[in-house]
Amino acid sequence: MAYDPALAVRVRRLVAERPGVTEKAMFGGLAFLLGGRMFCGVLGLDLLARVGPGRHDAAMAQDHVRIMDFTGRPMRGYVFVGPEAVSSRRDLTRWVEDCARFVATFPDTPATPRKRAVAGPRPSAASSRSARKAPP
């Protein structure tokens, strides 16, 4: 899925002076990271906002906000903010700053990507027993 380049430019301008912010193509959109952790992004015409679990319900109560579920599984703490809710600089700034403040609460250790399980055949019980035997 493509992302709105105009919205990306607007977010880029807001975070340009913030130390530690990088951007990365992710999930068919563009993500903005602070210290290696995503805090907001642009996907389609929407702002992707990482509000955190504690602010999730308050964010969802706002107009033009919906749960982030592009994987088919809702992700608490992340929301999509429709273009109507970020049409002004003031509104976009509020969302971006709230997300950056949330991610800034994390420990200073760098974010580490999760390891994905590799799909494949599982070893049988017999082969795992033989693998545990000491060599002759």
Rounded Cα gap, residues 57 and 74, in angstroms: 13
* Residue 125 pLDDT exceeds 70: no
State pTM to two decimals: 0.77
* Cβ count near 85 (within 10 Å): 20
106-123 pLDDT, tens digit each: 987 556 565 655 555 555
pLDDT, residue 113, reads 61
**Residue 125 token pair:** 């019980």
Stretch 75-102: mean pLDDT: 97
Confidence of residue 135 (pLDDT cuts 50, 70, 90): low
pLDDT, residue 101, reads 95
Rounded Cα gap, residues 3 and 56, in angstroms: 23
2-61 pLDDT, tens digit each: 899 999 999 999 999 999 999 999 888 999 999 999 999 999 999 999 999 999 999 999
Residue 111: which residues within 8 A CB-CB, separation 6 or more? 33, 35, 36, 37
Rounded Cα gap, residues 77 and 67, in angstroms: 9
pLDDT, residue 124, reads 53
Domains of the chain, CATH where assigned: 5-105 (3.90.1150.30)
* Residue 132 pLDDT exceeds 60: no
H/E stretch holding 13: helix 5-15
pLDDT, residue 34, reads 95
pLDDT, residue 110, reads 59
Q: What is the DSSP letter of 114?
A: P
